[in-house]
Structures are given as structure tokens and as C-alpha cells.
Structure 1
């Protein structure tokens, strides 16, 4: 087994108009030991002082900083797609994705790296804003394309559990897997994109969530506390894309030959009901349902698009020495 070299890893951060949060993340990267070989910051056309903040860290972070400011806001999906592309073209062996509302545990890269001789698609754990252990739904019911909320939270002595999903808040993935499944699909804009990407990765390699706390969330989100599970508040934009992007999931399922109409339709119906519960219980309002229906309507247009194709595999690029 080849020992993990931290310099072969690249951290990819996607940010948009949140310099207070971004500063905390960059400060945590400044303290990292070991540090990655590259840090790629994708700025989704921020209108605040993001550029100045990033540049102020260029000589502070213990790694090569690559900054890309996009001309338009492409959403998390577009940002991570571009960030993955940049990291891949830099020759990175490992790519670690994260939003700007987390900070990295000092030895987080070493904790992830110790699993690299065995796995090629790895998800670490994170602490929530209040310091509690954040529970992430690491498995999906494949036929319905929805997360399984009762997947066990505890780990056995192995320290890992098989997963068939993904989360761009901490996904740690090898370039060989990226080459096979292509870049994240920017057409999603937000939502379902990382679940799909992790699912595609799990079809190519054994994917796992490991019992290593490597990130801390730095943004407080309104939640409905259900014990070990939480339901977060959302927004009208999220409600729209949650329903619209079911059509993209359907397209990918058809492309790989696993689409089953009835279970998938059940998954869409359950997603709709979940969003109604989120509105009523977490956000305590009744407005917002129009965005769910609008998403379904626009999704039907996508589902009928005969010209649609999935993201293509990548051309091999030699890694750096």
C-alpha cells in the first residue's frame, strides 16, 4: 500500500458573498498540519470583498492558492464542477470539497489520508454549529433516489460504513474516480447534485463514510431537532430545485439503466411531502408550495429533452511529479 502524501491533495472551496465565513475557513486552513498541495477557491461571482479577502491569505496559507472568480453565479453545482476541473487539471491525486461555512480540523487531512490506501471515495464526519455530532444520511434508497433517514449512526470497530451517496461538504475523492464519472453536473445549480455524484462514484468504487471528525460547521441553521436527526430550514430557491432536479436524477438513472418508474415516483412524492413538513414544522409558514409545483413543472420539460446527455468521462491528465 502506498503511503498518503498530503501534497497530492487539493482542497476545493466554493464561496458566494460570505467573507466572514470564508475567513474562518481560510484561517483554519492556515493552521492545518499537514497542509494540502493546493487550495482552490471558486468565487461564484460575489459582489462583496471576497477577492480582497482571498488575496490577503495568499501568503498566509501553507499551500499554493488558486483563485477563480466566475462571471456569473453558477450555484454550488457549477462552483464544485469548476473547482473539480481546476483541481483535476492541476494533477491532484485527491480532491477534498467543502463549502465556505465549515472549518477544517487541524489534522483533518492526515485523518482522511490514513484511509486512502483502502478506498477511493471517502466521506469524513463533521461537528455541527453547537459542537454536537452532525448526522449525515450517507445511504440512499436507490430505486427511489432519496436518502434513508434511519441508516445507523453508530460505527463498529472497523471505523467505516459503506455509503452510496455523497456530500460536497467534505467529499474526499480520488482523481481516477473523477475521470470515470466526469465532473459534477453544473445543470443542477443546487440540490441533489452531490447525492448523485456520490452515487455514481459508488458504482465505480467502494465508497465509505469514516468515523473521523474533520470539519466543523460555522453557520447556525434553524432546525427541527428530532434527536440524532435534524431537519433544517430551507428557502424558496431550494424548494424549487429540490423538485425540478428530480428530473435530472431520472435522466441519470435512465442513462445507467436502473430507472424504475413507480419507486422513483414514490421517491418524488415523499420528497414533496417532506418539504411540506419542513414548511409547516421548521419554518412555520404555509407559503412556498408554489415553488415546489413550479419545480415539478420545469422538471417535466427537462424529462422530455431528447438532446440531454450525462456528464462525460474526463480525458486522462498526467499527475504532477
Structure 2
């Protein structure tokens, strides 16, 4: 619960925050997340659920929470599956147009710690791009690679896990499973790029945010994963199982990162190519040691092939900044609930 004597918490209005969730055919997991939001103290002003054209009972599940979640629930069902990238882009758009000062992004396979928003509130007066911590499915402390080697375009796997007395560490990345970001930064860098579909989209978006503000990961546990994922245990680090779709987009989407780097004049061909080679090697290791197979390498090569075509597209442009004037301030600017 928010401490009424904490001046930094007092300067944060929970009603100014929106939780934006992306879901696809996982109504059981979504039920757990919405239940945990209903148990929060304090709760956000809005909860936005973006449904990527689920074929299960997701719509009915959302409707069942409208009267019992304790805050305003906004539901958007996409016409097609736009992937996590398209879902988070739409969720950010809806939250922004609702006039939200803070937007908290989440997948459907987590639940919120009851005082999660109060914990983030303590940091909101100081920073505008914040990542909290989360527990893994087994209750262990999940390690997230919060630093990017920019010339390589890949995360740094050995960035220190510990925190000092400040309680935070600078980051130049992002994770849509828990990104807490201020509307000012969203306005400056625009919405997440839906063209990624899945993978690299949140890392890039977090990096773009870090170019506009001091981005941090804070020593606050605010989420808990609710889905078990097959892993190869490397001690404090884990290598998760993947899928053929992920393998394809991991390689294909390197082309989108290359486009952004070129647009921002940070692209270094040799180093970026090394980052792509290291990514390819990591995915081979994941196949062999986590999934115990060699099948799936064709998806890596297919992603590389399609990425080369995307990289040659001279008509490509980055996602634009949002208009300086907030859409929510205009007559009729707020979307229907």
C-alpha cells in the first residue's frame, strides 16, 4: 500500500497510470493476471486488454471482469493476430489516447504483485522509463539482460545482476513484460513498431527511450511469471526454449534494427554483422542444448533471407513521433470504453 507520508508517492496519482495487456488464446493466464490486478493497492486508472484475434473464450473472460476488477477496463479485439509487436503498439496507442501519464505494458503470462504500482510510484518522480523486476515461475529471481551492446545490436549477457544502495541501474534496453514508461517519452519516440511482429521490438524501443531520458531498472519485484518455460540453467542466467516462429523473426528483424541504426547514424556494418552472427550462433546453441534437436535451422536461414530483402527497401521509414498535442485533449479524443 502507498505510504501516505512518502512525498514521492504522494506526487504520483495511480489514476494517471494504465496497464496495457496483450493476449492471444491464453484466457486462463489472462484470468490470473486480471485477478491479480483486482487485488492491487493502489490500482491503475485504466486496464487495456488487446486481444490478438483469439479463438478461445477471451472475450467472455474480459467481460466477466468488467464489474469486479475495480477500475475501468477497455477491450480491443484485433481483426488478425498482429503479434506481440502489433498488440503492444495498439495498447500503447489506446493508453496514450486515454490521456494516461504512465503506461505499464504486460504480457498475459504474468501477475502483478499487490503493491506493484506503489513500488513503481516511488521511482516515477525521478525517471520516465523504468523497468521493475519479476519472479520466475518457480519463485526464483528472474535475470533480465538490461544492457545492449549498441554497435552489435544485442544484449550483454554478463551485465551485473546486483544492485548498490541506490536501488537502480542505468539501462539502454526495454522489455514489454513490465515496461513502465511516461507519455512524454512515448510522444517523442512514437509507438512501438508493429512491423517486428515478435522479437527485438522491445529492446529497440527501450533503446530509443534511453536516447531521450535516463532509463533505469529498479530493485523492486513487481511481477511474477505464471507460465513455465523449458530452460537450460546456466546459474544466474537461463536460456529459454524457443519456437520456429521466434527463430525466423529473431533473424529477420535484425533488418529492422539495421534500418533504425542507419536512420540514427549509429550503424557500423562490421560490428552489426558480428552481432547478427552471434545471434545465429546463440540460436543454434538453444536448439541443441535446450530443445535437443537440430530441426529448426531452416527458419534461421529463412529469416536471414527475408531480412536482406527488408534491408534493401529504400522506402522504409522509422515509426514517427506522436503529435505534440495530445489526442486525448481534443474533443472526442478519448476512445469509446
Relative to the length of structure 2, the TM-score reads 0.94
For 1:319 and 1:74, the matched residues in 2 are separated by 24
131, 134, 137: which one aligns with 1:126: 134
Q: Secondary structure at the match of 1:65?
A: strand
1:2-17 mapped onto 2 (5 Å cutoff): 3-17=11-25
Q: Offset of 1:318 from its aligned partner?
A: 6.4
Q: Offset of 1:281 from its aligned partner?
A: 0.2
Unpaired runs of 5+ residues, structure 2, are 1-7, 330-337
Q: Secondary structure at the match of 1:262?
A: helix
Q: Secondary structure at the match of 1:219?
A: coil
For 1:125 and 1:62, the matched residues in 2 are separated by 25
For 1:176 and 1:285, the matched residues in 2 are separated by 46
The alignment status of 1:23 with 2:54, answered yes or no, reads no
1:214-248 CA-partner distances (Å, limit 9, x unpaired): 00000000000000000000000000000000000
Q: Secondary structure at the match of 2:74?
A: strand
Q: Secondary structure at the match of 1:309?
A: coil
For 2:166 and 2:31, the matched residues in 1 are separated by 35
Question: CA RMSD, aligned part only?
Answer: 0.9
43, 46, 52: which one aligns with 2:54: 46
301, 313, 317: which one aligns with 2:326: 317
Unpaired runs of 5+ residues, structure 1, are none
Q: Secondary structure at the match of 1:153?
A: coil
Q: Do 1:93 and 1:319's aligned partners in 2 also have CA atoms closer than 8 Å?
A: no
Q: Offset of 1:64 from its aligned partner?
A: 0.4
Match of 1:92 in 2: 100
Match of 2:200 in 1: 192
157, 164, 167: which one aligns with 2:165: 157
For 1:226 and 1:208, the matched residues in 2 are separated by 25
The alignment status of 1:117 with 2:125, answered yes or no, reads yes
- After TM superposition, the runs of 4+ consecutive aligned structure 1 residues lying more than 6 A away are none
272, 283, 298: which one aligns with 1:290: 298
For 1:266 and 1:199, the matched residues in 2 are separated by 19
Match of 1:212 in 2: 220
Q: Secondary structure at the match of 2:238?
A: strand
Match of 2:249 in 1: 241
Q: Secondary structure at the match of 1:78?
A: helix
